[in-house]
Amino acid sequence: MNIAGLLTSAGINIGLCVLFLSLYSILRKQPGNVGVFFARRVSHQHLRPYEHRIERFVPSAGWILKAWETTEEELLASAGLDAVVFIKIVVFSIQIFSIAAIACLILVLPSNYYGKQMEHAQIPSEELEVFTIVNVQEGSRWLWTHVVALYLISCSTCTLLYFNYKSITNLRLAYISRVPANPSHFTVFVRSIPSFMQDSYTDSVKKYFMKYYASSYLSHQMVHRCGKVHKLLTDAEKMYKMLKSTTDENQGKPSFVRCGLCGEMTSSFRILSDENNVKTNNEVHNFELTRNQKEYPAAFVFFKTRYGAFTASQVLQSSNPMLWVTDLAPDPCDVYWSNLCIPYRQLWIRRIATLIAAIAFMLLFLIPVTVVQALTDAGRLARTFPFLKKILKWKFMTQVVEGYLPSVILMLFLYTAPPLMMLFSAVEGSISRIGRKRSACCKVLYFTIWNVFFVNIFSGTILKQLDSLSYLKNIPIRLGQAVPSQAILFMTYIMTSGWASLSVELLQPFMLLANLFSRYILKKETPPDGTLSFPYHTEVPRVLLFGLIGLTCSVLAPLITPFLLVYFTLAYLVYRNQFLNVYIEKYKSGGQFWPIAHNSTIFSLVLAQIIAIGVFGLKKSPVASGFTIPLVICTLLFNEYCRQRFYPVFKKYPAEVLMDMDFQDEQNGRMEEIHGQLPVAYCQFTVTSPDFCRSGHSVLHDTGKNAVDSEIKDLENRPSLVDSEPLEENQQHMNVSKC
């Protein structure tokens, strides 16, 4: 591909970005789209409508200024720690590739361009390989510029990683101590409870913890089999919300439908009488009695202190590790209730099965990647499909096929990965929703790194060798040259999957279409539910993949750095805007996405150094290779230091922090209030209020039977829940409460 093809791809993507950004700046000002582009602010009632009619139809950049001016403290208060960590990942990438762009464009790019004695063509017709390390002669002294640039990038990356890890660790410690009444700090989830003929599961739990944890044990709450019941109550909740919204819209005016083709007009909905409500309440109480007979060998055990719960969750409870398995419970709004009933003995089988399924999907994905590689060579494509020869004779079509079409096809195929990986993570048996999302994030990251980076390199090299088997002995040399040559495809992929996808993220096309369908087809006055949680399992892998591409290709193909800088700068503005206006923090991990980013960056850095060693060897510069080897060793030692110094804080809670919080609560006399809130916090058969989920701690004050009665009544009549914010599908958090 030449410069003209790259500019064609850039022009198409820049045009799409300008179009989408202009549409967003206009559509966001329309009153009918408030629920789409300001879903979070609408739910918090912090929205000022536009008053000027002309201004609504003029594109503006006010949202960019607002996103830029928002401080980290404001973002932390409004969107949570996970959003701050994600933005820090983006800022870290901007810092790294700013340094890489300066070093590589000043030192490396001239060395590559003038690396061989050759007659250069005009810039639009110049091949992109001329700007890569492929154009440097073997044994050239210009290779020292690549070594210096690699040292600058590696040292800067490690330094910034250290300071970011330290800063985020302090933020996590503050996050743990900022919520003094978090029920998960006092709760341990116990599974694989042994059964005894004379005792029920609840009696076994009580006897066990009264015997071994008599000083710290408070109470417990059994988990009940709730598969079908959970689904029925979820469907009932959806039906109630639909009927409630329709009733509110038609309040004050009769609504009639015709029964059959010629029947009489009848009322669409009826309001239940008080007698029916009383009957429903009695049925709920009868249901309470029957479900107590279906206990499952799993329970939430409540302790008097945080330190007691932490100690019980860390020790081995039995000589048989498959019995009395304990772990700290997730937050009440984070519990993935449908996975609590999975037998503990099945978990390892499920993990193996999902691993095999993920590998099979990755192998199956080789087919579209191979097709994409075939499209990067217009000449080979014309030989394979002769009917395309006439079309490919046009210069513009050749530039589109080579510079734009492959990255679009690859991006479309990659959209199938996140939903499938989320399904695999759910099958694995995670008991928390944020744990499922973190697991899906890792799977999507491995999948994209393998298929976008490694498979493209290997398949591209192998395809070029199919014409002549005599070159099989030169495969190592071809592989050494593959990374800089594939950097051209990566440039177009960054523009298509990066620039264009960010502008689409702003537009929220699915929610926008749903809003239009609701307003103009269904004739509803209220907008559809638009409050969503941020898709960390798709966006974190995307950012880290571009970081991998940049670190491995910046020294070998410096032209890639400006494209990455444009992407990360645009991502910084777009994601901050979305966190402030669109997404709501439904689950909290406490910054646990940062270790994933740290490990991915270290892997990318070491991979870039190993590739550089191979390329220097192919260029017959053993001295340059020798100077790069200590860089690999130092990077691995730095990673081990960070793993020992910072990572344990993200894996466990510090005992001294928990004990200090216990001491403060005892001094303030708040322990009894917290103990009374614990049994109601984990309510299996009660939908938890979103306000309770976002607050991070329980605000319930009723205890005993009054608390249970209020929760049962809330199932039948909860207008505040429906009117405040929608719940994600299967997000209803249910619990049996025996008070």
| Gap between the Cα atoms of 450 and 544, Å rounded | 13
Contact (CB, 8 A) for 224 and 682: no
- CATH 3.30.70.330 residue ranges of the chain are 183-233+293-330+664-685
Contact (CB, 8 A) for 249 and 228: no
Reduce the DSSP state of residue 673 to 3 states and report it.
Answer: helix
Contact (CB, 8 A) for 514 and 60: no
The two three-digit tokens of residue 305, written as one number: 């202190």
* Cα pseudo-dihedral 411, 416, 422, 426, rounded to 10: -160
Contact (CB, 8 A) for 209 and 287: no
Provide the pLDDT for residue 316.
Answer: 92
| Gap between the Cα atoms of 430 and 414, Å rounded | 24
| Gap between the Cα atoms of 552 and 146, Å rounded | 12
Query: Residue 25's closest CA among 579, 575, 580, 574?
Result: 574
Q: CA 407 from chain center: how many Å?
A: 22
| Gap between the Cα atoms of 512 and 506, Å rounded | 11
Query: Residue 104's closest CA among 420, 681, 562, 710?
Result: 562
16: Cβ contacts below 8 Å, ≥ 6 apart:
499, 500, 503
| Gap between the Cα atoms of 506 and 28, Å rounded | 10
Contact (CB, 8 A) for 324 and 190: yes
| Gap between the Cα atoms of 397 and 391, Å rounded | 7
Residue with the two structure tokens 């609840």: 202
Quote the crossing angle between the two packed helices 81-103 and 143-178, to the nearest 10°. Answer: 170
Q: How many helices (H) and strands (E) does the chain have?
A: 34, 6
Provide the pLDDT for residue 688.
Answer: 47
Query: Residue 695's closest CA among 715, 677, 719?
Result: 677
Q: Which amino acid is at 519?
A: R
Q: Is 153 exposed, middle or buried (0-12, 13-18, 19+ CB in 10 A)?
A: buried
386: Cβ contacts below 8 Å, ≥ 6 apart:
none
The CATH superfamily label for domain 183-233+293-330+664-685 reads: RRM (RNA recognition motif) domain (3.30.70.330)
Counting as low any pLDDT under 50, the low residues of the chain are 249, 252-293, 461-476, 687-692, 694-739
Pairing of strands 217-224, 295-303: antiparallel
Q: Identify any residues that bridge with 256 across adjacent strands, giving them in sequence order.
A: 267
**Model confidence, pTM:** 0.80
91: Cβ contacts below 8 Å, ≥ 6 apart:
572
Helix, strand, coil percent values for the chain (each to nearest 5): 70, 5, 25
* Cα pseudo-dihedral 97, 98, 100, 101, rounded to 10: 110
Q: How far apart are the first and last CA of the chain?
A: 72
Reduce the DSSP state of residue 516 to 3 states and report it.
Answer: helix
How many residues does this entry show for the chain?
739
Element (H, E) at 667: helix 655-668
Q: Identify any residues that bridge with 266 across adjacent strands, giving them in sequence order.
A: 257
Provide the pLDDT for residue 677.
Answer: 87
